[in-house]
A and B are shown apart, each in its own frame.
Chain A
């Protein structure tokens, strides 16, 4: 059976959920061979094996952290040369898309980004994507070279599937370009204790209607009652009420949760681009004409300062 290279997204050995989703998709096409780079790479093996990785290729070197993107491309290319896979899969983070792009040029292949589904086809894997702020669904293939495909988080279930997960050290020689862009310093984000926005099953967002940084506590309280991540519209971010890392939309994060709750958000096309593929959509907005109501499964026309606290209280009561 053909092997499929899966690029592992991990933090010091802790594998992030989108990588496990990728393994589910990879198994539809072939046998997953994982590639884990950087600090703690070998620690990823146990979890990857439980989810179907037949092999885990690992490399640790200071270059992965000290220089931008290219050292990882060099390593992924080394894995590609060693394995000769039928496809290369990565999850759609900003960095992984750049890694994928550069690898594609090097191996003379086409690239598909932000797939929301993947199936085996007669002419290689078929990727489903959404286009024009999710108003279209397309099916595409890579027609030249070995498909390089990035997949959006929350596009497939995580499924246990025991496999060997044998760890093998990957020999990497860095290219002349590897040290081109130096990372002078890195300031990690403070953890909020809430789920990662792109990975969360539920996202609760606030927009201009929240009307002030101090009022975002209402949104956070609702999020916490549901174990959800907090999102924000660009209007709320530009006003300085919430960090840009939480922005949902075209120039923020693209989310696809089971449930999206938009509070005081009008539903501009650039916001919809980042949330329209959510399974269930709920909105609270005092303007009955707000475009967000065209998308909702359930909408409340009302003042969020009344509706949201009541909802939070009701959820907390029901939870007991």
Chain B
């Protein structure tokens, strides 16, 4: 039977843009361009490589996000994914990590899966918890933060480079995997890929389709509340000196003045 891979991808504001909070203290999506999170490109890449190595596999990309999040799905489809699922609902505005994982879990189950592949973290929220949340909700093994991954005979193996050790991990499918930016460069969409992506199916689902109550998600249903967000004051301009031969000594003087030496 075909290996069903679902890749969770997030549509995020460009990190190099000027990111802000909106009045309701959610992410302001108005002023900054959005894109497929760069860290999720690695997840798409590993999914495609696993699919290529398997006899028969299908890669579905899944996003939970606003209308524009279709752009992220298109990009993943143009890289080579087969089809896409977009969970879109006005009531999702302001959903936090717990809520997002609930929606993703239902959508993954609805889609059908043997393997879920996520990025290591989103580039806007940067929590890095959704894959673990998803594994907990689905009740399947988590094999996360992998810098190397392979699937063979219904078993996923990978290397997790942790703080104190590097570990070789193994779990039976179905499982949830997340991959780091060390897992290998993501491919660029080819012209052919971009053209083909236009014809690939994108299925839209709303909360009703997934049997989720509106009050379980969104800003009102969130498990966390942001009370304030203040722009960090610009750092007061520091002293900048040009090295005329004494730069190292001048710097030492500064460090001594700050009691670091």
Contact = CB atoms under 8 A, between A and B. Distances in A.
Interface stretch (A29-37, A39-47, A79-87, A106-114): A106-114
A298 B257 CA distance: 12
Interface in B231-257: 231-232, 234-235, 238-243, 245-252, 254-256
B261 A141 contact: no
Interface in B14-69: 15-16, 19-21, 25, 39
Contacts of B232: 130, 134-137
Contacts of B254: 282, 298
**Max count, chain B CB within 10 A of own CB: residue among A131, A258, A270, A315:** A131
B139 interface: yes
B198 interface: no
Given A182-B171, A297-B238, A314-B248, A94 B223 contact: no
Interface string A58-82: 0000000000111001000000000
Contacts of A307: 243, 247-248, 251
Given A68-B142, A138-B229, A269-B15, A97 B128 contact: yes
Given A296-B240, A318-B252, A250 B126 contact: yes
Interface in B119-173: 120-121, 123-124, 126-129, 132-133, 135-137, 139-145, 147, 157, 160-172
Nearest to B236: A297
A137 B129 contact: no
A183 B167 contact: yes
A312 B25 CA distance: 46
A139 interface: yes
B82 interface: no
A98 B132 contact: yes
Nearest to B102: A105
A226 interface: yes
B1 interface: no
A109 B247 contact: no
A250 B129 CA distance: 15
B136 A106 contact: yes
Nearest to A102: B136
Interface in A248-293: 250-251, 258-259, 269-270, 273, 280-282, 284, 288, 293
Given A245-B161, A307-B248, A251 B120 contact: yes
Contacts of A185: 167-168
A101 B223 contact: no
A133 B231 CA distance: 11
Interface stretch (A20-28, A48-56, A142-150, A163-171): A142-150
A308 interface: yes
A11 B165 CA distance: 12
B191 interface: no
Contacts of B2: none
Given A251-B180, A300-B250, A126 B243 contact: no
B133 A101 contact: yes
Contacts of B132: 69, 97-98, 101-102
A142 B223 contact: yes
A182 B170 contact: yes
A250 B124 CA distance: 10
A68 B260 CA distance: 40
Contacts of A134: 232
A102 B133 contact: yes
Interface of B: 15-16, 19-21, 25, 39, 96-98, 101, 120-121, 123-124, 126-129, 132-133, 135-137, 139-145, 147, 157, 160-172, 175, 180-182, 222-232, 234-235, 238-243, 245-252, 254-256, 258, 260-261
Interface of A: 11, 68-70, 73, 93-95, 97-98, 100-102, 104-106, 109-114, 126, 130-145, 177, 180-189, 198, 202, 226, 244-245, 250-251, 258-259, 269-270, 273, 280-282, 284, 288, 293-303, 306-315, 318-319
11 contacts: A110-B96, A110-B98, A113-B127, A113-B128, A136-B230, A138-B25, A145-B223, A282-B255, A299-B238, A307-B248, A318-B261
Query: Which 4 A-B residue pairings sit nearest by Cβ, starting from the closest?
Result: A310-B248, A302-B243, A110-B223, A180-B141
